């Protein structure tokens, strides 16, 4: 099928892509005189009007502090906040909403575990096992925790094609390993890791498992019970919600045994000058006035995700990614990275000797937004033998014609920098 037939034939759920794009006010704008082609979705997603409206309506109609006000607004705000928690629970298929802790995002969620869980569970000489493809957010917190607790940080190696070498991890397993920290989907290569198999491996050897789900939740159906991970972190802003809200899922028994992380209001049961006792889950980990606006926006974003349909999203993005990889193969001097069997719509590449920054700047002139750099995963960039790469990353609101524009602009960049 040629592109036009494909675009006409392909629907996202029951709607055309043009129709769906109409839900996102920002996609309407121009950049440098050209229609915006937003291909930086792995960095952050654009927001549907539904999310923006939910935030506005919350402030125009229901704003109050949560969990304390004995008035109608307070009760409504609390209900909206807790309803959002229930939506996150169902999105991840957690057993109970008590297992969902709101955070600022993935980074804060991982830091919570690397602080509270690490202090209670890591002793001198223990091992934390991460992978060579982790985002700095699932690497640096463990470097800090290991330094604090006197532990060693080891890594599951990345193979040539961008897959994790699980066999090597099993062969070289250190019996002192207490936790495996692994990303579900690589933000650099798009590799979708078999986190279920990794969890089984870890649990069989007595280690807990934390999954960084930031690049997974927007693109595929997540089931934390099926994966059987102990912790799962993600960010609202990558899944069409606002910035500054995200969540940590943790198994109830594990969260219950963990000490509080931050002290303050809301996380306590009773306070005297000498000491305090802690609130129940999940509030034990939510000190201070939370980001209710963010939770309300995330709640609307989850509704939107379900309305589009996660299965439809995975299918459409898979089609787009396959088309993009095929078109990019046709650009002379272009090198694509990663060849793992399961990949998301993350497309890393370099264009001959032209530096990634220069490529991205040229694409911006054409109205095309991509990311260039080491993508907060410097160790992986070094492993690939490149300093920086260009990364186009797809969402279901992207189109085949945007990919054609990307390819045309790359040809233009080749001519410009020749």
Partner 1 sequence: MSAFDELYQEIIMDHYRSPRGAAKLDHVPQAMAHENPTCGDSIKLEVVVGEGGRLERVRFDGHGCAISTASASLMTESLHGLSVADARERAGTFIKALRGEIPASVLDTMGDLAAFKGLASFPVRVKCATLAWHALLVSLPGA
Residue 376 falls in the annotated catalytic set = yes
In the shown chain, the binding pattern of residues 301 to 340 toward partner 1, with x for contact by CB under 8 A and - for none, equals ----------------------------------------
Cβ distance to partner 1 smaller for residue 219 or 374:
374
- Shortest Cβ distance from residue 245 to partner 1 (Å)? 26
Angle of helix 49-57 versus helix 292-308 axis, rounded to 10: 150
How far is the C-alpha of 203 from the C-alpha of 178, rounded, in Å? 10
Cβ distance to partner 1 smaller for residue 29 or 329:
29
Closest CA to 176 of 151, 140, 142: 151
Q: Does 55 bind partner 1 (CB under 8 A)?
A: no
Query: Quick check: helix, strand or coil at residue 124?
Result: coil
Q: Does 32 bind partner 1 (CB under 8 A)?
A: yes
- Shortest Cβ distance from residue 360 to partner 1 (Å)? 9
Cβ distance to partner 1 smaller for residue 33 or 341:
33
Residue numbers 351-390 binding partner 1 by CB under 8 A: 355-358, 361-362, 364-365, 372-374, 378, 381-382, 387-388
Cβ distance to partner 1 smaller for residue 51 or 376:
376
How many other CB atoms are found less than 10 A from the CB of residue 403?
24
Q: 326: exposed, middle or buried (C-beta count within 10 Å: 0-12, 13-18, 19+)?
A: exposed
Number of chain residues interacting with partner 1 (CB under 8 A): 19
Q: Are 173 and 205 in contact (CB under 8 A)?
A: yes
- Shortest Cβ distance from residue 368 to partner 1 (Å)? 12
How far is the C-alpha of 255 from the C-alpha of 251, rounded, in Å? 6
Among the residues of 232-291, which ranges form H helices? 252-257
Q: Could you write out the three-class secondary structure of 299-350?
A: HHHHHHHHHHCHHHHHHHHHHHHHHHHHHHHCCCCEEECCCCCCECCEEEEE
Cβ distance to partner 1 smaller for residue 283 or 362:
362
- Shortest Cβ distance from residue 42 to partner 1 (Å)? 16
Q: In what order do the strands lie in the sheet with 177-183?
A: 100-103, 246-250, 231-235, 208-212, 177-183, 127-131, 152-156
Q: Which of 146, 151, 229, 376 is catalytic?
A: 376
Residues that bind partner 1 (CB under 8 A): 32, 355-358, 361-362, 364-365, 372-374, 378, 381-382, 387-388, 416-417
- Residues identified as active-site: 376
């Amino acid at each position: 099928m040629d592109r036009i037939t494909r675009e006409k034939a392909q629907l996202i759920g029951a709607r055309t892509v043009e129709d769906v794009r109409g839900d996102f006010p920002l996609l309407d704008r121009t950049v440098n005189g050209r229609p915006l082609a937003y291909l930086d979705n792995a960095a952050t997603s654009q927001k549907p009007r539904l999310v923006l409206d939910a935030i506005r309506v919350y402030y125009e109609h229901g704003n109050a502090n949560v969990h304390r006000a004995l008035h109608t607004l307070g009760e409504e705000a609390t209900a909206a906040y807790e309803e959002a928690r229930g939506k996150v629970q169902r999105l991840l298929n957690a057993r109970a909403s008590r297992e969902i802790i709101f955070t600022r995002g993935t980074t804060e969620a991982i830091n919570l575990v690397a602080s509270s869980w690490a202090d209670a569970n890591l002793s001198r000489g223990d091992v934390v096992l991460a992978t060579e493809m982790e985002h700095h957010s699932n690497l640096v917190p463990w470097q800090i925790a290991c330094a604090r607790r006197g532990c060693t940080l080891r890594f599951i190696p990345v193979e040539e094609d961008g897959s994790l070498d699980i066999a090597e991890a099993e062969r070289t397993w250190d019996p002192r390993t207490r936790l495996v920290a692994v990303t579900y989907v690589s933000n650099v290569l798009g590799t979708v890791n078999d986190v279920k198999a990794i969890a089984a491996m870890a649990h069989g050897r007595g280690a807990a498992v934390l999954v960084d789900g930031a690049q997974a939740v927007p693109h595929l159906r997540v089931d934390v019970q099926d994966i059987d991970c102990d912790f799962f972190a993600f960010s609202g802003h990558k899944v069409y919600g606002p910035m500054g809200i995200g969540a940590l899922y943790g198994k109830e028994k594990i969260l219950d045994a963990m000490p509080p992380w931050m002290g303050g209001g809301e996380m306590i049961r009773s306070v005297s000058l000498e000491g305090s006792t802690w609130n129940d889950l999940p509030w034990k980990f939510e000190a201070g006035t939370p980001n209710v606006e963010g939770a309300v926006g995330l709640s609307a974003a989850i509704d939107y995700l379900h309305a589009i349909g996660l299965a439809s999203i995975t299918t459409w993005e898979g089609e787009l990614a396959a088309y993009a990889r095929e078109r990019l193969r046709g650009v002379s001097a272009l090198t694509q990275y990663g060849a793992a069997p399961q990949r998301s719509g993350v497309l890393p590449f370099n264009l001959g000797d032209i530096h990634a920054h220069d490529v991205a700047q040229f694409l911006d002139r054409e109205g095309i937004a991509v990311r260039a750099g080491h993508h907060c995963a410097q160790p992986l960039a070094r492993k690939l033998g490149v300093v920086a790469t260009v990364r186009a990353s797809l969402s279901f609101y992207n189109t085949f014609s945007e990919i054609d524009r990307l390819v045309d602009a790359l040809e233009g960049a080749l001519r410009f920098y020749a």
